[in-house]
Structure 1
Amino acid sequence: MKKILLTVTLLLAFGLMATSTPSNARELLDKVAVIVDKGVVLESEITDLMQGVKENAVINGQTLPSDAALRRQAIERLILENLQAQMAANMGIQVSDPQLDQTIQNIAQQQNMSMAEFRNEISKDGVAFEVYREQVRRELISGEVRRANVRRRVYITDQEVDSLMTIINEQGAQQAEYQLSHILIDIPGDASEQIVGEARERAEKILELLGSGSDFARLAIGASSGPKALEGGDMGWMNINAMPTLFAEAVGNKQKDEVIGPIRSGAGFHILKIADTRGVEIVEVEEVNARHILISPSIILSDAKAEQMLTEFRTELIEGNADFAELAKQHSQDPGSALRGGVLGWNDPSIYVPEFKQSLASLQKDEYSMPIRTVHGWHLIQLIDRRVDDATEKRKKDRAYQLIFNRKFQEETDAWLREMRDQAYIEVLDENA
């Protein structure tokens, strides 16, 4: 594909990508720029990504490094995305058209727009809707690849959870959140002392530039090897208990606009800036208890047939001619809930994929959903009940576990991407890159 892989958030932030390049110019640009294992990065992909970053910088009044530095960052981003796309193909991960349409509809609703308004907004930004759909499809596939490969690398002990629960209790009702910006000067795993020393010198030089008033985002785009380099290093808002341990220890008791570093880790030297801080109140959270039947399409079961099966089950249940638990035990392909009659138990709805969560939000007690499509297949859902969580010890433990999981998942994602990059065959064909 000639278009780039960008997160949905980045697409919206960039106002989407312009597609007004004349066709003859596009043909001249559309050549292989990088060989990535069995795939390639095209020149047009690099050009589009660089153009998007430049447009975003204009909108935000942000200065950028040289085109050469920006190009290097764009190439690295596209290499990682290409490797993830190849892995998705090898794993057989796909996103069907119905699931994709539902996801885009969710995005439109989050923007408080109808689909017609959303399509019009995309068109005003100069992007064909079909191009946008494929960008979202690729982002969904990349997310599923990351979850499938990183989740099994995360291990959490009861002791870790108990320790964090103690910290949360000591912090009381207010807990610190930080909006962090990040620059990483990476170090190869087998680096010599000389290479480590050179990396430290580069990090110290960046600190000097920051101290003399240089723009953090511009330096991040030009020099950082971190995953958010093209976003100016912006890591967004992070609870102190959910951020990497190394960062949490460094930012504790620091104030807005402070620059911290260099901090040494296995990945290299990190420089942090606290863009902002805020306190977060612990609030009551509504939980739902639901049950579902999952039918996953396969070579012998079409997408349409899977949906039809659940539609028929729904009719039988409404008419009183079937029992949900028995249908789940006989037909559901979710091994975690099928033997329990499809019951998922009490959970925060945010743990579910967006389509599942949205469907639950629209249901009344005991009501059945229409069949919905997610990355896992087709679901028929029944809402058993709702309740407001009263911050019991169980809730605190679940919250502590999730905070630790989020932190470790991000750490392992970064490590997994580095490992995948290091093991891949990469050849940059453009001598100027």
Structure 2
Amino acid sequence: MTDHSLPVRALVRWALPVLAGCLGLTALAQPLQRANQLSMPMAPAGAAAGARTADFIVALVNSEPITNHEVRQRLRRIEQQFAQQGRPLPPRDQLLPQVLEQLVNERAQIQHAVDTGIRVDEASLLDAERSVAAQNQLSVEALRQRLAAEGIDRNRLRNDLRNQILLQRVRDREVESRVKITESDIDAYVSEQTGGAAANLMLDLSHVLVLVPENASPAQVQALQAKAQQVADRARAGADFAGLAREFSDAPERTNGGRFGARPADRLPDLFVQATRALPTGGIAGPLRSPAGFHVLRVNDKGQAGLPPASVVQTRARHILLRTGPQLTEAQAVARLEQYRSDIQAGRASFEELARQHSQDGSASAGGDLGWSAPGQFVPEFEQVMNRLRPGDVSPPLVSRFGVHLIRVDQRRDVEISQREQREQIRAMLRERKAEEALELWGEDIRGRAFVEYRDAPQP
């Protein structure tokens, strides 16, 4: 897939909460604001106690109503989110006012978006619908069928999507002009994070442990040390360290390719820290003797806590893309790609040749080759499947917003990140942090200028 065919796009954050309220899918609702930031509307005097079966207006935002049904729908979304994450849910009498205030804030922002000329065209709505389907591992056809089975009008989904797109666009526009990250901001952040370099050291290590039994004879110790030395020699010669760990290691991490994962230096044995502190990424240390036995270590990555990693894992993959439309349904595309996959695995056809003949992407002429890609380069639904594949694996058919894909991973490699690239990552991180602050201030300003009239208190 060429760069213009599968571009880097922001995840449609607005698409997830819609389905969480509509379907029993694994989607996340928008997070509530912190309670101490919300004004808590009071029920008007004389309001009826107890649940109300009929729908009714709970608030007016610039004369536009918010109904009890809308509050209940949002409440259900949030309850689903908490349940999926296994988190305890606050009592409903505390949650309902927060839900209502969230809806009030959103309604005021949507009105501001419309009043200032922001519009959502049909193409954007269709793209959003495809994204919702892909993120929930459904085709668009299956999504619509699921909505119908749940008794949900498709127009309701589209209206929710339209509002969420309006929210996202107006927030992006307003925040864009308020957030600037200078080189001095980056320098200050780096200085802050590296102030205590030793304390902030992060190490991502893998290891092979050759256990030495208690009361081992000198001959046994010598043989086990030789075994560890063989592992170290092969690792330094370029052998796959994860494979060596699975074959030779006696540590529990062997099933994970010997990888500890990134940890602060003070949470690792001092023996490991001292042996790897001066090594570059990819460096091998050992064999090292400890009371447990002999260790061989590999430095996967190293850096300072709070700073971007010094290296990233890049993937080289190929794909076959079939675009769906009036001439080819998603079900037909999936069936066709399943046949291609079967032919490839049986040796009846090569991935490259099928890509040249059938892929509807700019990469077809190169046998579907996408080149080396870094994390975040492809859309999430594509990248998640790609990242689960081992080199040589071919995925089942994958539905994305662009069509249906077959993916094969060819290679992976660790690539060091330049200082310039690290600074750009810091810039993006600082920008996101400042954007959240700017968005909060802008939201408070829009809320303060809106006329809000609270009616009857919402009922669950």
Asked if these proteins are the same fold (TM beyond 0.5), I'd say no
* TM-score, scaled relative to structure 1: 0.44
- Of structures 1 and 2, the one with the larger relative CO (CA 8 A, separation 6+) is 2
* TM-score, scaled relative to structure 2: 0.42
Q: Which of structures 1 and 2 has the bigger CA Rg?
A: 2
